[in-house]
Structure 1
């Protein structure tokens, strides 16, 4: 039976790392006192081996020998293991109800590297850090150790020395380490202790269930019970019980060859400061996180042939997964094989059913030899794909995917409000199995992508022309984005009559994914990682002008690029959102029919209506991003052109015109009477008004206005001057002042919000600073005051006059209150 990683192969690797945060040659292991003849004690404080490991001990041989003597748990640690890097992975294996949606069974809480070292009659367990390093052959290595002293996590008395003089070992008692409240491996984090008012761990109700030893890992299962003043469930018990899993994994003596990270291609990464480089500074080194894939035939691989890896990346499907969904989970995993073929590997990713208890009674999803796609019985509506990696090299060792059961509810809702106009299968609370299964397949593929080392790529969906997504042939071949790692879920652009089938609305692994896997996983036949960098750079430059292969990290820098939005698709946010609105106008009136279930109330209608309102807000947000936005294209110094380029003024004006039509003119079509008569109108005016105000406040965010002022200085040829934007927005929101009629309720609310928002730049959050924003906003308020004063001479509607009088008072208060 193939495993995720045959860790036994790691033991054959040559050298061990020595010293704190130092890498390079092979230092000698820490000296140990010689064992006494016959396995006796080298110190009077120790007992004879047979007195500690008694005849009735139950033993399990592996990386360490585990002995159970009554309720006592002993580790017999080979001296050869001293100084070796051990990865401790702390997971919660069982959680009580109410502990929070993102804390399912199997989630990793802590990953840390430890080393055993002997100090007299004790074994110390010391935590290691690899964030500051230097080759141990360099003089500065000594300073690195002295200035980054690793903490001692535990100290164990050596109870006895092993009987084999040729393979010496040391026996320690680990019972209290696992049964007690050891902070480094506890399931109760500091924030949780505060939240649940945890008083103490109760030793009478905390115990070790089992410890199993394997060739290169040890698996511990133990229970922790805490007294808590505010337990998440069963509050009357004042008790929180957690089932914990600890995995102790022997890392390779020689770390995997790393690959340097490049921000132009998306990978999770590890970072360290290397004091030993030939630079006039302590320089950073950043390596990508990836699995170790080795070709079964290296010669054929480097000839360019497809070869199978020695060990594939294997995921086991959780036995708790419902039978009807297992094929889709399997497909979502193995869909990545097409990407690895681009990197030269055939059958690199495998999905398997776990062995039966008869086939392997020791199989355990918590065992780090196995990666598992877990099915969490949880009301949380999400999925996740975390992984565990070697902090020295970035090698991914294990990764568990979590699918939360209630995430199907999310996709039921999204399918209806995004595609129901053009996809008949989405017009029901019971989505057909093949459609829901396909959506699940793509979510699993997305999470597997994370587990392979790939982060989100939110700019990917902007590569496809908006109108191409209405073409059935294009959508079937290309999906909705070049990368499954984008948050572009279902095709909301396709219109009724475009001829798309259900599968054509879904995202899928695309050309960017093939490109990124090839970039990160293809082996390069060079002497060392430094020699790879020009080749990797060349691969990026070959594709640099093709938006299909564009990547932008999901960080603050991406927030200013309108192409890097979540839940969007197409290269034109205005056109895409217009299509989305047209579909939403068809969907909303049908929600009462599509959500109806005989004998049920209107709870589902209220939920789906809320989803429709949220979808409307997403469309508005995609367009808002154009105003004051900038295209961000990461480049190196050998690439021509700007990294930051402001969105042209004409595109920004087009965005404001769209918002004037669809946001600032109240979208009263959302106030569908058939819906509101069933779920109640209470708060619906305020709700729709709040969405309009949210769009307005986003347009008038401090950061956006500052960018517009800056772009006017730095790129004046194509910038939209801030003063002109503020004038255009005022003209959009206050057009009624030129007439004599009443101002409608939604517009009155929006005008109040406009004045209140402008006032903050005079008296509140935007009052400080030396930018152009404050004086221009003050000018807007003065101009608006004059316009309102003139309008009061013409308008006779009583409510409107009261509204305008109130606005003048607000403006006066803001101007007088400003510094």
Structure 2
């Protein structure tokens, strides 16, 4: 009998403990309540938040975010930055409550419950946290919510480690709940905590922004949100439509239908009068601007974001898209508000648009834009280098501010577009700036008198592609309409109008192939636009001088203004290079009649090559002596940051390093391994006859050899060294196409024989040194071809996105 005694006693104690659980009313007596979607109680004595969970087993939306950030663009922990959006549910077993996340990547969209359950059981689900039941009453339970809030939900410590800024951990003793931003509403409950991280800092980014880098604090926000009803009608994704896809696998799909299903992300927008061609909405989509934005920036952002109403008008809505300033007292992290945030960082960087969306349907519940405040200053700087901006002394030419504000209008519209569901369209600029979802370079032109014309720097208003895309995503069709056919008709209207759409996959990397899809470009012809910009650049350099900075500023600050001017052609170089080995292609569907893919014709590739060769010509890269005589080293209190050229000369400006970084940028694009491999294939297929690596190298060498002054000759030698080094890289890399590597090695062999012969002719001292260096690098390559590393060129100063390095 005694062996049964212990289990019986333990069972009795378990029942007694369960029976002794207090009621929620008893447990929370005297505590400060917050009532709404979830009810919570704040215990001032212990600093705890108790959460009352009534919705056991019901799915809700959970979002974590960062409300007070770090301020470093490079680390990327910004103020009001959204984190993950998850569907979760609280489940109870005995004294335990788990916060479980179902796996929505794999589904069965069917009314057959066993079929749905079979998929749920086939793939892992996640449990985000576990809680102990502290009280219960009428089917509700009370849990200690505090540990869930006082944790690194946003991955701050991991982000710092990834960026080599040090090893940090959360210090709970220096972390508290943040009651000012903790509140509950009928459909959402918001929580916030101030979290302190301690550790040993390593990198300069953290040290540059934290007052005491070994201990810094941020604020994290947590939202529990009621999921929307099932009245929202999901819309199918089409690769031609310009939307972001929500992708999942549907195991209930018929055998003859794709397993992978795709929907678009979009806001819920319904006509008050569904039968009318044009109608006011049941509820408009309203975006709110951060009240911390000063004028005249505030007006520019409001105006730019408001352009989208024109697109919704084209989709059949009246006054359906509105932009206002956020009301006093409203929380920008409250899911009920679509927000345009104005975010400060220590260095310039990306702006971006994100969303809180229902992962089940793609319905956007909150649009959330983060605009970097330093971007406007960079556009001002770009304009400053092109004209004698301070000819009047301390007062800037008003065109500089006008251009910067024009860019902000476009930027506001662009990032809001992302939060409406739209992806980038990097092929829009060639069709009369057809979309704000492209990245526009300022279109600055030289007048007949040689003056710079700013009047068309940036476009105004929404583009034709944007209207078409909004029609696809938001047009409300009658019940009798075949929606699939109607959506296809909208997209084919765009094809017939000559509207091109290519997104990030065809534009971002250096090796991409589409000749129309570029970042920061203009015009229908990349070679013509490159030549135009080179003309503008040459004219601006000829006029560059002390009038480009305000009176009273150190002369050394001229270098900062000179840098973006000297590299003003950099983005068009990238655009032009894509014609080499390029292919015109579309996101065509079978039966839609669009051309699918074809190589860029040889005459277009030849024109691109000619334009690119101009950018490595020594006479184009030389900086006039008059300019060099105006730029001294930086004085005390000023520094040369990453937006300056990297010199070999210490504190003194280095024109050879500037030329080297510009040359290497062009060479890296022209001699990209993927590009050369495509050209080999095009030549083999008979599409190219006169453009191949041998001609490339010959033309580049000849261009850089075309030098007359001693300064030009010095730049020529810089370029020839970099060309030889790139050939060695191609010849030794086992990841490069064998045909390309073989052609590069053949060129290296030919150059080696030529260098040895030239050296035996006892040329001048500078030429002997030049040849000896290249022969020495070839010898290093011979010793271990696969281990050969391309010596780095001087670093190219930061550029795209007017904030991050290349």
Q: Given the alignment of the two structures, is residue 756 of structure 1 paired with residue 725 of structure 2, yes or no?
A: yes
Cα distance, 1:720 vs. partner?
4.4
Q: 1:284 maps to which residue?
A: 260
The worse-fitting range, judged by mean Cα deviation, of 806-815 and 455-464 is: 806-815
Give the alignment's TM-score, normalised by structure 2.
0.83
Q: How does 1:506-585 map to 2 (within 5 A)?
A: 506-508=458-460, 509-526=462-479, 532-547=483-498, 549-555=499-505, 559-585=512-538
Cα distance, 1:550 vs. partner?
1.2
- Relative to structure 1, is the Cα distance of residues 642 and 779 closer, same or farther in structure 2, using a 3 angstrom cutoff? farther
Q: Given the alignment of the two structures, is residue 629 of structure 1 paired with residue 582 of structure 2, yes or no?
A: yes
Q: Given the alignment of the two structures, is residue 203 of structure 1 paired with residue 153 of structure 2, yes or no?
A: no
- Give yes or no for contact 1:133–1:273 (8 Å, CA) kept in 2: yes
1:58 aligns with one of 32, 37, 58: 32
Partners of 1:374 and 1:737 lie apart in 2 by: 51
- Relative to structure 1, is the Cα distance of residues 798 and 123 closer, same or farther in structure 2, using a 3 angstrom cutoff? closer
Cα distance, 1:239 vs. partner?
1.7
Instruction: Give the secondary-structure state (helix, strand or coil) at the position aligned to 1:192.
Output: helix
Q: Given the alignment of the two structures, is residue 347 of structure 1 paired with residue 319 of structure 2, yes or no?
A: yes
Deviations 1:405-453 (A, max 9, x none): 22221110233456889x9999947656554433322211111111111
Q: How does 1:250-399 map to 2 (within 5 A)?
A: 250-254=226-230, 256-279=232-255, 283-300=259-276, 304=277, 306-357=278-329, 363-382=330-349, 383-399=351-367
Deviations 1:554-574 (A, max 9, x none): 115772112111111111111
Q: 1:37 maps to which residue?
A: none
Cα distance, 1:93 vs. partner?
1.5
In the alignment, structure 2 segments of 5+ residues that lack a partner are 1-15, 634-651, 787-806
Cα distance, 1:797 vs. partner?
3.6
Partners of 2:127 and 2:323 lie apart in 1 by: 40
1:656 aligns with one of 609, 620, 634: 609
Instruction: Give the secondary-structure state (helix, strand or coil) at the position aligned to 2:80.
Output: coil
Instruction: Give the secondary-structure state (helix, strand or coil) at the position aligned to 1:463.
Output: coil
Q: How does 1:718-729 map to 2 (within 5 A)?
A: 718-720=687-689, 724-729=692-697
- Give yes or no for contact 1:660–1:732 (8 Å, CA) kept in 2: yes
Cα distance, 1:552 vs. partner?
0.6
Cα distance, 1:60 vs. partner?
2.8
The worse-fitting range, judged by mean Cα deviation, of 744-753 and 335-344 is: 744-753
- Give yes or no for contact 2:582–2:599 (8 Å, CA) kept in 1: yes
- Give yes or no for contact 1:114–1:125 (8 Å, CA) kept in 2: yes
- Relative to structure 1, is the Cα distance of residues 433 and 650 closer, same or farther in structure 2, using a 3 angstrom cutoff? closer
1:225 aligns with one of 186, 193, 196: 196
- Give yes or no for contact 1:199–1:229 (8 Å, CA) kept in 2: no
Deviations 1:633-652 (A, max 9, x none): 22111134642221111222
Q: Given the alignment of the two structures, is residue 44 of structure 1 paired with residue 19 of structure 2, yes or no?
A: yes
- Relative to structure 1, is the Cα distance of residues 370 and 431 closer, same or farther in structure 2, using a 3 angstrom cutoff? same
Partners of 1:85 and 1:371 lie apart in 2 by: 23
Q: 1:690 maps to which residue?
A: 661
- Give yes or no for contact 1:314–1:350 (8 Å, CA) kept in 2: yes
- Relative to structure 1, is the Cα distance of residues 342 and 667 closer, same or farther in structure 2, using a 3 angstrom cutoff? same
Q: How does 1:88-167 map to 2 (within 5 A)?
A: 88-96=62-70, 102-138=76-112, 139-162=114-137
Partners of 1:486 and 1:427 lie apart in 2 by: 33
Cα distance, 1:146 vs. partner?
1.5
- Relative to structure 1, is the Cα distance of residues 782 and 588 closer, same or farther in structure 2, using a 3 angstrom cutoff? same
Partners of 2:394 and 2:269 lie apart in 1 by: 41
- Give yes or no for contact 1:330–1:351 (8 Å, CA) kept in 2: yes
Q: Given the alignment of the two structures, is residue 701 of structure 1 paired with residue 672 of structure 2, yes or no?
A: yes
- Give yes or no for contact 2:393–2:551 (8 Å, CA) kept in 1: no
- Give yes or no for contact 2:341–2:368 (8 Å, CA) kept in 1: yes
Partners of 2:299 and 2:723 lie apart in 1 by: 53
- Relative to structure 1, is the Cα distance of residues 498 and 387 closer, same or farther in structure 2, using a 3 angstrom cutoff? farther
Deviations 1:119-160 (A, max 9, x none): 234332111231111135445433321122322222333333
- Relative to structure 1, is the Cα distance of residues 268 and 679 closer, same or farther in structure 2, using a 3 angstrom cutoff? farther
Deviations 1:165-198 (A, max 9, x none): xxx53333323322x32x5x35635233664422
Q: 2:641 maps to which residue?
A: none
Deviations 1:473-509 (A, max 9, x none): xxxxxxxx11111111321345456999755321232
Instruction: Give the secondary-structure state (helix, strand or coil) at the position aligned to 2:194.
Output: strand
Partners of 1:591 and 1:697 lie apart in 2 by: 29
Partners of 2:335 and 2:154 lie apart in 1 by: 18
Deviations 1:640-667 (A, max 9, x none): 4642221111222222222333323442
Q: 1:667 maps to which residue?
A: 620
- Give yes or no for contact 1:709–1:772 (8 Å, CA) kept in 2: yes
Q: 1:775 maps to which residue?
A: 742
- Give yes or no for contact 1:227–1:240 (8 Å, CA) kept in 2: yes
Q: How does 1:415-426 map to 2 (within 5 A)?
A: 415-417=383-385
- Give yes or no for contact 1:309–1:348 (8 Å, CA) kept in 2: yes
Cα distance, 1:770 vs. partner?
6.2
Partners of 1:817 and 1:379 lie apart in 2 by: 43
Deviations 1:247-266 (A, max 9, x none): 11111242722111112221
Partners of 1:795 and 1:433 lie apart in 2 by: 57
- Give yes or no for contact 1:187–1:244 (8 Å, CA) kept in 2: no
Instruction: Give the secondary-structure state (helix, strand or coil) at the position aligned to 2:332.
Output: coil
- Relative to structure 1, is the Cα distance of residues 259 and 720 closer, same or farther in structure 2, using a 3 angstrom cutoff? farther
Partners of 1:433 and 1:727 lie apart in 2 by: 46
Q: Given the alignment of the two structures, is residue 489 of structure 1 paired with residue 441 of structure 2, yes or no?
A: yes
Deviations 1:737-776 (A, max 9, x none): 99999992222222222222222333x21x4666322332
- Give yes or no for contact 2:693–2:743 (8 Å, CA) kept in 1: no
Cα distance, 1:398 vs. partner?
0.8
Partners of 1:415 and 1:500 lie apart in 2 by: 10
Partners of 2:75 and 2:717 lie apart in 1 by: 40
Q: 1:170 maps to which residue?
A: 141
Deviations 1:3-57 (A, max 9, x none): xxxxxxxxxxxxxxxxxxxxxxxxxxxxxxxxxxxxxx99404213431131x23
Q: 1:408 maps to which residue?
A: 376
Count of aligned pairs: 735
Instruction: Give the secondary-structure state (helix, strand or coil) at the position aligned to 2:356.
Output: strand
Q: 1:458 maps to which residue?
A: 426
- Relative to structure 1, is the Cα distance of residues 632 and 123 closer, same or farther in structure 2, using a 3 angstrom cutoff? same
Partners of 2:248 and 2:443 lie apart in 1 by: 41
Partners of 1:791 and 1:506 lie apart in 2 by: 52
1:445 aligns with one of 394, 413, 436: 413
Instruction: Give the secondary-structure state (helix, strand or coil) at the position aligned to 2:233.
Output: coil
Q: 2:645 maps to which residue?
A: none
Q: 2:643 maps to which residue?
A: none
Cα distance, 1:732 vs. partner?
4.2
Partners of 2:393 and 2:463 lie apart in 1 by: 24
